[in-house]
């Protein structure tokens, strides 16, 4: 059994600096050609065709509701999650403080070409010809090294806040995961790293892959021509997302019959966190849950938007394969995906982006 960490999984897929360094948005009065997206992308006008389901974790029917939402939307708004509002606000405040630093200060914490953590543009950037109106900061575990580069003296508050948020997110993601498995009638025993909840947290071999991503979408002089975050699916099992109150931007793609798909806005709902199904859950559920395609359009308010995404997946060496529900045990169920380790899938995704899932289809 290996001892791969998520950072190591990304180390094998280095990026060019031009695909890491963000624009200095603060000193850019117009949208440069490099950041102008073709208008056919139609990002400023979203169709509204129903709202993303809201699920309260305390609801006795939570499993059924989550299951249905994950099948039809690949996402839902989560209420009753128990994360203190104060902690969420503190995280957003720290993100605001970070992205508010002068560009040259932020560059001190730049992600290295083979690195996974620190300041930089989204990892999906090389797959698009235009750049996004976005800057990010990726954290895996303790952010202390990069935080020190940003604030040689005042890094402590940032670190404490991010560590405490990650701890709470891990417990939450763990619980949501169990409820989602329950809705599929899959026994938790199938997933070894979930089984021994308290034993494994200090062993990297069995520790889940997690990451915290702070996103900033700076105020844009011409919101109709820029793209916040290009369409993508999240790689891991599930993502728990907080977005700045009152500022729209996130949209999810929804099948709309034979006419194709439509973009549905996911408005920030008071106290709710958005849960997205990721690629690995699509595999695990043998395609019953859909890894949701989503994007962020630049809002028209010209106010800077922030979001905080927590990515949760199995340990890097864990082999993910379609699981049978207890009711299917004596049926013939054809697996639609071959088995892949998390590390292997991260590599396939890094090279192929949206083609990754179809490449492991049987």
Ligand X SMILES: O=C(O)CCC(=O)C(=O)O
> Would you tell me which residues interact with ligand X (CB under 6 A)?
213, 215, 229, 234, 241, 243, 249-250, 294, 296, 307, 309
CA atoms of 187 and 195, how far apart (whole Å): 10
Catalytic residue check, 58:
no
Chain positions 302 to 341 lying near ligand J5X, rule: CB under 6 A, are 311
Residues 6+ away with beta carbon under 8 Å from 81: 57, 172, 273
CA atoms of 43 and 300, how far apart (whole Å): 11
If one asks whether residue 110 binds ligand J5X (CB under 6 A), the answer comes out as no
Contacts of range 280-283, beta carbons closer than 8 Å, 24 or more positions apart? 280/235, 280/236, 280/237, 280/313, 280/314, 280/320, 280/342, 280/345, 281/70, 281/180, 281/237, 281/238, 282/337, 282/357, 283/320, 283/321, 283/322, 283/337, 283/340, 283/345, 283/357, 283/360
Within 10 angstroms of residue 219's Cβ, the number of other Cβ atoms is 15
Which CA distances in Å does 89 have to 213, 243, 332? 15, 10, 49
The active-site residue, picked from 18, 305, 336, 338, is 305
Which of residues 239 and 325 has its CB atom nearest to ligand J5X in the complex? Answer: 239
* Residue 13 structure tokens: 């897929």
Chain positions 112 to 131 lying near ligand J5X, rule: CB under 6 A, are 116, 122-124
* Residue 160 structure tokens: 């404490």
Per-residue contact track with ligand J5X, 230 to 249, x per CB under 6 A?
--x-xx--------------
Residue 243 interacts with, from ligand J5X, Fe ion, ligand X, none (CB under 5-8 Å by kind): ligand X
CB of 290 to ligand J5X, least distance (A): 15
Which of residues 65 and 106 has its CB atom nearest to ligand J5X in the complex? Answer: 106
Within 10 angstroms of residue 40's Cβ, the number of other Cβ atoms is 6
If one asks whether residue 234 binds Fe ion (CB under 5 A), the answer comes out as yes
Which of residues 67 and 249 has its CB atom nearest to ligand X in the complex? Answer: 249
342-353 burial string, b = 16+ CB within 10 Å, else e? Answer: bbbbbbbbbeeb
CB of 180 to ligand X, least distance (A): 18
Per-residue contact track with Fe ion, 176 to 215, x per CB under 5 A?
----------------------------------------
Stretch of residues binding Fe ion (CB under 5 A), selected from 15-23, 174-182, 227-235, 278-286:
227-235
Residue number of the CB atom closest to ligand X? 307
If one asks whether residue 213 binds ligand J5X (CB under 6 A), the answer comes out as yes
User: Counting beta carbons within 10 angstroms of the beta carbon of residue 127, is it exposed (0 to 12), middle (13 to 18) or buried (19 or more)?
Assistant: middle
Chain positions 135 to 194 lying near ligand J5X, rule: CB under 6 A, are 136, 138
CB of 24 to ligand X, least distance (A): 20
User: Counting beta carbons within 10 angstroms of the beta carbon of residue 85, is it exposed (0 to 12), middle (13 to 18) or buried (19 or more)?
Assistant: exposed
Stretch of residues binding Fe ion (CB under 5 A), selected from 12-20, 212-220, 230-238, 326-334:
230-238
Residue 146 interacts with, from ligand J5X, ligand X, Fe ion, none (CB under 5-8 Å by kind): none
If one asks whether residue 106 binds ligand J5X (CB under 6 A), the answer comes out as no
Q: Which residues of this protein are in contact with ligand J5X, per CB under 6 A?
A: 116, 122-124, 136, 138, 211, 213, 232, 234-235, 311
Active site residues per annotation: 305
């Amino acid at each position: 059994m290996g001892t791969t960490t998520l950072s190591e999984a990304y180390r094998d897929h280095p990026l060019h600096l031009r695909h890491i360094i963000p624009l200095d948005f603060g000193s850019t009065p117009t949208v440069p050609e490099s950041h102008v997206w073709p208008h056919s992308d139609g990002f400023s006008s979203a169709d509204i065709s129903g709202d993303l389901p809201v699920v309260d974790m305390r609801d006795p029917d939570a499993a059924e509701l989550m299951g249905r939402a994950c099948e039809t939307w690949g996402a839902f708004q989560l209420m009753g999650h128990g994360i203190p509002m104060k902690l969420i606000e503190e995280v957003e405040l720290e993100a605001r403080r970070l992205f508010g630093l002068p560009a040259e200060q932020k560059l001190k914490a730049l992600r290295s070409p083979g690195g996974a953590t620190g300041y930089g543009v989204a990892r999906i950037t090389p797959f698009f010809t235009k750049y996004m109106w976005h800057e990010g900061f990726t954290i895996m575990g303790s952010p202390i090294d990069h935080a020190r580069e940003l604030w040689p003296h005042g890094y402590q508050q940032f670190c404490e806040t991010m560590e405490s948020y990650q701890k709470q997110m891990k417990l939450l993601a763990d619980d949501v995961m169990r409820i989602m498995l329950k809705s599929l009638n899959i026994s938790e025993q199938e997933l070894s790293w979930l089984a021994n909840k308290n034993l494994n947290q200090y062993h990297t071999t069995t520790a889940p892959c997690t990451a915290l991503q702070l996103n900033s979408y700076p105020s844009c002089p011409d919101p109709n021509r820029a793209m916040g975050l290009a369409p993508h699916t999240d790689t891991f099992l599930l993502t728990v997302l907080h977005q700045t109150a009152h500022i729209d931007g996130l949209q999810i793609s929804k099948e709309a019959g034979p006419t194709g798909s439509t973009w549905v806005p996911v408005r920030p709902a008071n106290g709710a966190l958005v849960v997205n199904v990721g690629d690995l859950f699509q595999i695990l559920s043998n395609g019953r849950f859909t890894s949701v395609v989503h994007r962020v359009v630049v809002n028209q308010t010209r106010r800077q938007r922030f979001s905080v995404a927590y990515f949760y997946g199995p340990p890097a060496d864990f082999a993910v394969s379609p699981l049978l529900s207890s009711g299917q045990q004596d049926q013939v169920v054809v697996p639609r995906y071959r088995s892949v380790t998390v590390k292997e899938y991260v590599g396939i995704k890094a090279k192929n982006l949206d083609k990754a899932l179809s490449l492991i289809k049987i």
